[in-house]
Amino acid sequence: MTRGTSLALSLFLALGFAAPAVPQTIDAATPIPETKPAELKPAELKPYMPSSASAEASSEAPKPRPRLKPRTTVIPPNPAGPVRTMPANPDAPIGYVTTIPGGVTARPAPMVTPSLSPRAGQVSGAVPASTPISPDDIETFTDSVVRTLMQRDHVLGATVAIVQGNTPLLIKGYGYDRLSPMRHVDPNTSLFRIGSVTKTFTWIVARQEIEAGRIKLDAPFGDYLPNDIYVRDPRYKDITLRALMDHTSGYEDTSLGHLFQLNGSRLIGPDSYFHLHKPRRVREPGQFSSYSNYGAGLAARALQQTAHARDVPTLMETRIFQPLGMEHSTLREPYDVGATNLESLPAPLSPQLTRDLSDGFIWDGATYEPQPFDHAISLSGALGASSTAQDMARMMAMMLGNGQNDGIQLFNAASADAFRQPLMKMPEGYNGWASGLMVRESPAGFTTYGHGGATLWFNSNMILVPEMNLGIFISTNTQTGSALAASFPNLLLDHLSGDLVRPPLMPQPSMAYERNKAYYDAIKGHYVSSRRAYGGLEGAITRLLNTVSVTVDADGRLILNTQNGLSAFVPASAPGFFTQQDSEDGGPAQQTGGLHFLFNADGTHVSAFETATNEARYERVSWIHNPGMVTVLTAFMMVSCIFVWLSLAKGPARHEHPSEEQGRATLISAGLSILWLASIFVFHHWRSQLADDPGALFTKWPSGQVRLASTLAFIAALGTLYQFATYYFVYNERGRHGDGWPMWQKAAHGALLLFWGFYIIVLTAWGALEPWSW
């Protein structure tokens, strides 16, 4: 027996996962010493009661669960190798700087079954769920891949859990979770921030409340929330839990400046947050998915209400963490009680778990820089959890066990089925949101369920593969770790299905551009993600950073150009569908999957496209909202401003004697040109800095530079309007003739004002002239 096999066997025995015993009823009233507010007694929290006959509690006490004691393996950071910067913020409005979400319609149309590629649905050499997977093989493969990708992408620490059913295959740490003092990642105790994987806990409790009859999937959601937190909008239908689970609530996505908080003394609780931040509803619920952290946070707040819990962290502890023995999982966060107003905040994280927290890091091109804790307590049910590989192994074993593990039942068979059945009818291979879990097709052809997530510095991914009875969890503590977290599960599934090496797909000759010009011309253009703010400065910035372009090459490949780079897609056999050319593409295709373009009835125009991930819809952009058009207009604006100063430096000819109005107009135009140039310079300086610090979008908003640029442009716009109002007097010279401006100069001044006025209209349409809107 090899050393690796021996260690893997020891790990299997240490975990002690046996066949599940008779499920035990969860005693949700167990008091938690950390949180004892006077307004709610712990016993008032309504427990989860299994609703099926098979879920009745046994009078026999469950056997104690052995502690997980896997070996911790570490690697030193390797500063050598190329620097690959892939900043990760999928929990923020995706597409700003990091990843590009897709959007899929929720329309009640018949399910389409496109033939996306020869690889779809074909798993060569796949491992059946009943076939045990070798822990030794898993460890050898994971060691090689994780270490290589950590070195390539400059990731300081990672933690990994892989289970088959309730059998752990690997629970392991790599690298370091702190540098001062230096501390290795321990998969048992190192708490990593898991971002939107947190939503899995919220949706589990939601299913529990559905089973208990305290909440209904399609009832008006406002019935479960205080009136001051949820305000009904008479223009739209009521939102339901279903709409929150499949992200079709119709909320805009406003996140800048308040999704994360780095200053622990400025934290506010969920109720205060919901009072201050109310994103607008911009469409009817149920139209299409547009991912919403706010919606998930609202759902968690409602569950707290229906379960009579004192706060969301307590609810998750009582309903999930304590029953499963997840002793190092929490939604609590560290903050100084003396420096923070705790009136509306849950009790802080215990000192013991605070010591176990991993730091978050950025790679600055030379060193790893520790970062402050990225608080998300206001939306703790959406993205605020911290956990370990060991605890997530228990979580995945329970999910794979249809809600049961170690004699504990968290949900019944109906809920287990709901977590594997999409809520929405979608094309084959497109995510229909299975009660809040994302459904995806891996490149190897497996249907997977789970959730990814990220905070400012951490990147995580959890997927479940029912076909193999397999659960995979990985989390990294460095901002550059998004590629590792996103790609590792697919690489592992490729390995288990036979180390498939797939050549890039090629378009059929019949799909060349010259043979299908009308088809491709209808597709080409600019599209903007629905996952953005819909007004004000935040709307302008998020529109700018979430707009993508689609072009076509001669062979019929679509080229998707995003903030995250380029990806190529080839036509599928079904009209309007495209699949990624390279299954290992680390660019936008890794985040979008396939593309589906929505044509009008006669097939001559595309209004939008949706992607396999179904996190947003990309809607066609009119010319006025085309970033390229704004760039060109801005360039002409700079030229016109410079021309004004060249004309001023030249001065009037000897025979010219401008009128008082003309002289004043010249000086005002010179001053306005300075304001316009200063506004453009300040904005572009801010945007260039954003490339080096993408987290500033969420922690330093409203940006002083953006507000200054908008203010300068707003003042310049007012001055330009004054010039319009006085142009009549400039043109007519108040009765003087012959020695004022020549006709060409009057025409040039009028043309300048017309162009500046047009530029003002464009900026107004973008929302860029609203320095007060934050």
Regarding whether 532 and 387 lie in a shared domain, the answer is no
By the 8 A CB rule, do 392 and 382 touch? no
Q: Which of 496, 522, 541 is the endpoint of a domain? A: 496
Q: Are residues 224 and 368 in the same domain?
A: yes
Residue at 290 is within a domain: yes
Same domain flag for 152 and 248: yes
Sign of the C-alpha dihedral, residues 314, 319, 322, 326?
A: negative
10 Å CB burial of residue 191 (0-12, 13-18, 19+) is: buried
The CATH number of the domain where 596 resides is what? 2.40.128
Please indicate, yes or no, whether residues 552 and 404 belong to a single structural domain of this protein: no
**Residue 266's pLDDT is what?**
86
Peptide bond into 702 cis (omega under 30): yes
pLDDT along the chain (774 residues), means of 10: 34 30 35 34 65 41 38 33 34 32 32 36 53 93 97 97 96 97 97 98 98 96 90 91 97 92 88 91 95 96 95 96 97 79 81 97 94 93 96 98 94 96 93 96 93 96 96 97 95 88 89 95 96 93 94 96 92 94 85 94 93 96 94 96 85 70 90 96 91 79 90 96 91 65 88 96 94 74
Whether residue 169 is contained in a domain is answered as: yes
Based on the domain organization, do 486 and 533 belong to the same domain? Answer: no
Residues 632 and 619 in one domain: no
* In a shared domain, residues 196 and 238: yes
pLDDT (0 to 100) of residue 338: 63
Looking at the structure, tell me whether residues 322 and 444 fall in a common domain: yes
Helix (H) or strand (E) holding 164: strand 157-164
Are 673 and 732 in the same domain? Answer: yes
Q: Are residues 450 and 560 in the same domain?
A: no
Give the separation between CA 662 and CA 653, rounded to whole angstroms: 14
Q: Mark which of 472, 496, 520 sits at the end of a domain.
A: 496
The phi and psi torsions of 420 (rounded to 5 degrees) equal -125, 5
In a domain, 774, yes or no: no
Domain count, the chain: 3
- Taking each helix axis from N to C end, the angle separating 135-153 and 3-15, rounded to the nearest 10 degrees, works out to 100
Find the domain containing 373 and state its range. 3-496
Residues 7 and 142 in one domain: yes
pLDDT at 87: 34
Whether 771 is in a domain gets the answer no
Q: Answer whether residue 503 is part of any domain.
A: no
Query: What tokens does 673 get?
Result: 């040109």
Give the CATH number, domain containing residue 383: 3.40.710.10
Q: Judge whether 773 lies within some domain.
A: no
End-of-domain residue from the set 623, 656, 678: 623
Q: Is residue 246 part of a domain?
A: yes
Helix and strand numbers, DSSP H then E, in the chain: 22, 21
Query: CB within 8 A of 376, min separation 6: which ones?
Result: 259, 260, 261, 333, 382, 383, 384, 455
> What pLDDT, on a 0 to 100 scale, did the predictor assign at position 639?
96
Of 159, 141, 189, 152, the residue nearest 77 (C-alpha): 152
In a domain, 501, yes or no: no
Does one domain contain both 638 and 611? no
Cis, bond preceding 220 (omega within 30 deg of 0) = no
Listed residue (201, 133, 204, 122) closest to 169, CA to CA: 133
Please compute Rg for the chain using Cα positions. 29
